Structure 1
Amino acid sequence: MFLLTALAEGCATITDSKIGIFGHLEEKLKQNPEVFSQWRRLVDHLENEKNIEVGRVLWGHIILSVEHLRDRSLLEKARGVNDVVNAVEYGSDTSVWSEDDYWATPLEFMMKKRRGDCEDYAITKYLLLKELGVEEDRLRIVSVSLADGRAHAVLVMYTDDDTLLLDNLSRNVISTEDKQGYRPIMSINSFSIWTHSEEPYDVTIRTTSDPSFY
């Protein structure tokens, strides 16, 4: 889990900010080529698994479980994928992999171990939604701090008129605007990385004439 918050090392901040996830200001960061090494290793590992016959068969079983969603709306895809992936049992990295931080592929998470932590749920949802045709610029894996200070990871998906939260702690897919107690720390997709302000943006002290209002 801590790796997500370490991904910004070696990055330079782009100065412009905007209101982002959970109402917090966010800044998009320039990428260091090494920043996404963990993500690339995971994607490459998944492709290698799928190149083996047993991996192709197992991947086919996973895709079959969500294939009926392919022509559905973004909201229906989000709900369906959330249901399928959340059915997997939770297990910490130390109990499943005997490591402090391990990013499992969907095959490892759903078929090999059949257990995983919050990052594994978020990663698998991301990759399944991508497989169903959702553009990656609509998707982000988000590292958050819970109200009690615990670290957590979720998937956020942007539709044309909302920002949806896919969370292994909830069966329901809801708008991020309706979620309380989640403070975003960092978010990533295959192309970019963002950091987020510690406190939510207070719109009550801004007006649309303020040039810093987005």
Structure 2
Amino acid sequence: MPAFPSTIARPVSHELEIRKSRFLTHAAPVGSVADAEAVIADIRKRHWDARHNCTAMITGLRGEQARSNDDGEPSCTAGVPMLEVLRQRRLTDLVVVVTRYFGGIKLGAGGLVRAYSSAVSECLDAAQLVERRELTEALLTVDHADAGRLDNLLRDWAAGHGGTLGDTDYAGQVTLRVWLPADALPDLADAAAAWTAGALTPERGATRIVDVPA
């Protein structure tokens, strides 16, 4: 199991109809509770005419903060089931809003729980996940003439070793960056030596939490 909960790469929406009620789900990645509340406020403004705009959010690197709101639905039939879906999927730093346009047929408590849970689950099925990993930066400083070739080699190497490329700096020389598990640093050093007949040695940089597409 990953050490940290995942999040989603970008906002995603989904529509579900159950017994004439429309459930419009919006999920969005956020960096804080304030960001989540701004997303909620925007959706409530856009769907002001809906009967309910129910919400759930989890924030923090380890999902330390969680909130939910039934927005007029019977207690614990909307926000809490929505939040439970986020917890079961080990997600954080996202907010989910389910907007319900009532179709005239009551669903009952159990039906509401299933409806709001399904609305969130189906929406998240369409989302691209982003994993959080503790990775270490490695820097490779190369001549401009070699940068393109080594960038391609480094990209392929990172894909097979649980790493991801960082930003490239262009100055008198080119600095390539890759974020990788700390225990993969010796393998990178061997690979860099093989690519350059022993002329290139990666420099170890900082260690931090990095978002990596799942």
Structure with a larger share of its residues in strand? 2
Structure with a larger share of its residues in helix? 1
Specify if TM > 0.5. Answer: no
Q: Indicate the structure (1 or 2) with the bigger Cα radius of gyration.
A: 2
Interval containing the TM-score (normalised by the shorter chain):
under 0.3
TM-score, normalization by structure 2: 0.20
